[in-house]
Structure 1
């Protein structure tokens, strides 16, 4: 087996938005006099749009339907992205460098409208052969659905792929799909030990990742 494709996560790997997501969703919930549950932040990392909006509506108690919650929060996120896109230093260059050797895909928990906006702003729209949101598959991360769907559209098997992830649910999703998992742990939101244990390679910074290191995973 050899690695022929690399599938990137978006949030926490290419853009550093976990804090933005937390700030926007906490402020939104607070505007209705509600608060996150103790495990809300960890649970929502990797969830699809339908899943986290349902969590905020039905478990946290925001008095809006899940669809309304999603529209509200995504609208606020899009405004933030337009004014200030928090690209991780070296991420764009790393994507382009790995794209010279591997076919690239993207498997994100962000909504399609946000994925397209980020890639357009970052100049990466043409870098990925396939991009998918977890809102386009039955289950979000940690289920493997989005990674398996990207593999299918790329015409490769999971064994042919490396996945680059930062969060617990993302790492679990890629591992469940049967990929060689590369972990880039987030400094503020580090992954759980069990999720990190499933990674074949752990790096401190995305720019440190070389094509040779990826190829050596198989």
Structure 2
């Protein structure tokens, strides 16, 4: 291993429940209909992709306004209630940073990535961060992980990715990285996606160089 690339949502930050609550309420408020598989489909999508999908659910706003409204509410939640770090996140990041350069490949918008890293103090450990807003395709496409590897100057096959979601696991695997899966207890990945993992760990406490 020459580098480690983390996902953010569901790996370092327990944000999926917050995303679901905020987006579900936004959809209901603006005339849309939340579907049983909506949350699982949204996980890993880029901002443009999930805003377009919420519009397809019947939200009576253009996708750009949907994205802006949801992101504004997410930032407010983080500011008012704090960033909900996953157990062991800060220690795991520091532990891995002491051994190798760290990257971040996240489906969160740049504004939220920067807010989370600043408020938690984790930003000092990362040499490269990529939002799927900044690449052509969101997860499960490999674009974000490939961009992170390029920014670190390290070949993807020499990187380990840390992921939790189905789309994230597929993305990192498609990029050619070895994938460590740490499944979220509430939003576990699909079995076929989990099968792509090189290692499956129960928690961040088990993640070591």
Q: Within 5 Å, give how 1:25-64 maps onto structure 2.
A: 25-57=23-55, 59-64=56-61
Secondary structure of residue in 2 paired with 1:162: strand
Q: Structure 1: how far apart are the matches of 2:87 and 2:30?
A: 36
Post-superposition shift, 1:131? Answer: 0.3
Post-superposition shift, 1:37? Answer: 2.4
Q: Structure 1: how far apart are the matches of 2:158 and 2:183?
A: 23
Secondary structure of residue in 2 paired with 1:97: helix
Q: Structure 1: how far apart are the matches of 2:15 and 2:37?
A: 19
Cα-to-partner distance string for 1:157-205 (whole Å, 9 max, x where unaligned): 1110000000000000000001000000001000000000000000000
Post-superposition shift, 1:7? Answer: 0.1
Secondary structure of residue in 2 paired with 1:204: coil
Cα-to-partner distance string for 1:2-34 (whole Å, 9 max, x where unaligned): x10000000001110100000000000111232
Q: What is the count of residue pairs matched by the alignment?
A: 208
Q: Structure 2: how far apart are the matches of 1:158 and 1:32?
A: 41
Partner of 1:87: 85
Cα-to-partner distance string for 1:59-98 (whole Å, 9 max, x where unaligned): 1010111100000000000001112210112101110111
Q: Structure 1: how far apart are the matches of 2:35 and 2:194?
A: 24
Post-superposition shift, 1:153? Answer: 1.0
Q: Within 5 Å, give how 1:1-218 maps onto structure 2.
A: 3-57=1-55, 59-83=56-80, 84-211=82-209
Post-superposition shift, 1:36? Answer: 1.4
Q: Structure 2: where are the runs of 5+ without partners?
A: none
User: Does structure 1 conserve the Cα–Cα contact (< 8 Å) formed by 2:32 and 2:54?
Assistant: no
Q: Structure 1: where are the runs of 5+ without partners?
A: 212-218
Q: Structure 1: how far apart are the matches of 2:113 and 2:187?
A: 21
Q: Structure 1: how far apart are the matches of 2:114 and 2:10?
A: 16
Q: Structure 2: how far apart are the matches of 1:77 and 1:111?
A: 11
Partner of 1:216: none
User: Does structure 1 conserve the Cα–Cα contact (< 8 Å) formed by 2:166 and 2:193?
Assistant: yes
Runs of 4+ in structure 1 deviating by more than 3 angstroms, as ranges, are none
TM-score, scaled relative to structure 1: 0.94
Cα-to-partner distance string for 1:131-165 (whole Å, 9 max, x where unaligned): 01000000000000000011111111111000000
CA RMSD after TM alignment: 0.7
TM-score, scaled relative to structure 2: 0.98
